[in-house]
Amino acid sequence: MHKRYLYPLKFDPQYMEKIWGGHKIQNYLGKDIGDLANCGETWEISGVKDHLSKVSAGVLQGSTLPDLMEEFGADLVGQQVADQYGTEFPLLVKFIDAAEDLSIQVHPNDALAKKRHGCLGKSEMWYVFQADEGSKLISGFKKNTNKEEYLEYLAKDQITHLLNEEEVQAGDCFYLPAGRVHTIGKGLLLAEIQQSSDITYRIYDFDREDGQGNKRELHTEDALDAIDFRGHKEYKTRYTHSMNEVVPLVQSEYFQTNLLEYSTGAIREHYECDSFVIYTCFEGDAEIIAEGHITKIQKGEAVLLPQKFKQVHLKSKLGFKMLETYIP
């Protein structure tokens, strides 16, 4: 029996065919989706029940995130995370390829999700890797509205008239707190980092039918209690792009994500951070070196760095672009 120990962890991706899925996860990220007709989502790191990630290599191969949290506790996730979440891993990392528009939807916050579903709510962020020309997405309302006006537009199939639509390009970032109505538009390939939850209330699906002529279920009543009806001036995350520096993107109570674009490599120190760190690579490649343990990461992969490793060397010959995510 090999002694079990922690190292920078990679997991087997879970590939999901979707009514709106495309082929960029194969063609752009270079992943093998097997015999699926398309791939809308790949779940890279997941503690969601029925979709548990399994370690892909090393002495912990085959172990799920809850297994690891039970076995290693604070050494894996940090004491504050272990205290707050027990053996439930708090984040979910996905790549999403929208060949068609996704449904317009909303996610509940923690209080509503716990009451209705016994799980976490879903605040999330998107970072766009690749965008076809003219691609758009929806985030939030154009102006303050209310239930009555919202239902009136919904009944007339005109809900998009109330919503804030934005043209998108590679490098755009959006934070979507629970309660924000949204959709990913066709032509976008992005990373989604979110609370560990799979609860979605579908508001409008453009009257689409599946292969059998059935429309997908809508959750009009459920969504009403979840929606934040306020309008905001700005929805896109503003940041200044900078090479060979840590660029903060999203700082929320659920996670913090930084953008790392380095030409050769970086030493990252996490002495102040009582959390695991996730590196999600979307360009180039690197070796993640922590106390002599080496794990390779390349475009289209995510690696979980356990909390016990306070310093990590991201070593690269040709450079990389990555997201760095942890619990604040």
Q: How far apart are CA 252 and CA 124, in angstroms?
A: 10
- Are residue 266 and residue 182 in the same domain, yes or no? no
User: What is the number of other CB atoms lying within 10 angstroms of the CB of residue 211?
Assistant: 6
Residue 262 lies in a domain: yes
- Are residue 105 and residue 177 in the same domain, yes or no? yes
Yes or no: say if 111 and 57 are a contact pair by the CB < 8 Å rule: no
Residue 20 lies in a domain: yes
Place of tokens 């605040």: 123
- Per-residue pLDDT, 212: 80
Q: Dump pLDDT digits (tens) for 178-196.
A: 999 999 999 999 999 999 9
pLDDT band at 64 (very low <50, low <70, confident <90, very high): very high
Residue 238 lies in a domain: no
- Are residue 165 and residue 254 in the same domain, yes or no? no
Residue 232 lies in a domain: no
As a residue count, the chain comes to 328
Please work out, in degrees rounded to the nearest 5, the angle formed at the alpha carbon of residue 293 by the alpha carbons of 288 and 298.
30
Is the pLDDT at 71 greater than 80? The verdict is yes
In the chain, pLDDT over 90 holds for what percent of residues? 94
Q: Dump pLDDT digits (tens) for 43-63.
A: 999 999 999 999 999 999 999
- Are residue 274 and residue 199 in the same domain, yes or no? no
Could you tell me how far CA 300 lies from the centroid of its own chain?
13
- Are residue 137 and residue 189 in the same domain, yes or no? yes
Q: How far apart are CA 296 and CA 25, in angstroms?
A: 19
Yes or no: say if 275 and 179 are a contact pair by the CB < 8 Å rule: no
pLDDT band at 261 (very low <50, low <70, confident <90, very high): very high
Q: Is the pLDDT higher at 207 or at 290?
A: 290
- Per-residue pLDDT, 1: 59
Cα–Cα distances (Å) from 198 to 14, 99, 100, 104, 291, in that order, read: 14, 21, 20, 15, 35
Q: What is the mean pLDDT of residues 195-219?
A: 88
Please work out, in degrees rounded to the nearest 5, the angle formed at the alpha carbon of residue 198 by the alpha carbons of 63 and 25.
75
Residue 183 lies in a domain: yes
Q: How far apart are CA 33 and CA 17, in angstroms?
A: 9
Residues of the domain holding 292: 246-326
Residue 8 lies in a domain: no
Around 102, how many Cα atoms within 13 Å sit in the side-chain half-sphere?
Answer: 24
Q: How far apart are CA 192 and CA 33, in angstroms?
A: 19
Residue type, 4: R
Residue 119 has which token pair?
């799980």
- Are residue 165 and residue 212 in the same domain, yes or no? yes
Cα–Cα distances (Å) from 210 to 18, 42, 95, 157, in that order, read: 10, 21, 23, 19
298: CATH: 2.60.120.10
- Per-residue pLDDT, 276: 98
Q: Dump pLDDT digits (tens) for 98-129.
A: 999 999 999 999 999 999 999 899 999 999 99
Boundary residue ending a domain (178, 197, 226):
226
The domain tally of the chain equals: 2
Is the pLDDT at 211 greater than 80? The verdict is no
Yes or no: say if 105 and 181 are a contact pair by the CB < 8 Å rule: yes
Q: Is the pLDDT higher at 78 or at 213?
A: 78
Give one word for 206, left, alpha or beta, with left for phi > 0 and alpha for psi -120 to 50: left
Residue in 4, 202, 216, 238 annotated catalytic: 202
- Are residue 60 and residue 112 in the same domain, yes or no? yes
- Are residue 157 and residue 190 in the same domain, yes or no? yes
- Are residue 120 and residue 182 in the same domain, yes or no? yes
- Are residue 158 and residue 254 in the same domain, yes or no? no
- Are residue 153 and residue 250 in the same domain, yes or no? no
- Are residue 168 and residue 295 in the same domain, yes or no? no
Supply the mean pLDDT for the chain: 95
Query: 193 φ, ψ to 5°?
Result: -115, 125
Boundary residue ending a domain (198, 226, 254):
226
Q: What is the mean pLDDT of residues 129-139?
A: 97
Q: Dump pLDDT digits (tens) for 25-47.
A: 999 999 999 999 999 999 999 99
Residue 2 lies in a domain: no
Say whether 216 is catalytic: no
What is the pTM assigned to this prediction?
A: 0.95
Residue 301 lies in a domain: yes
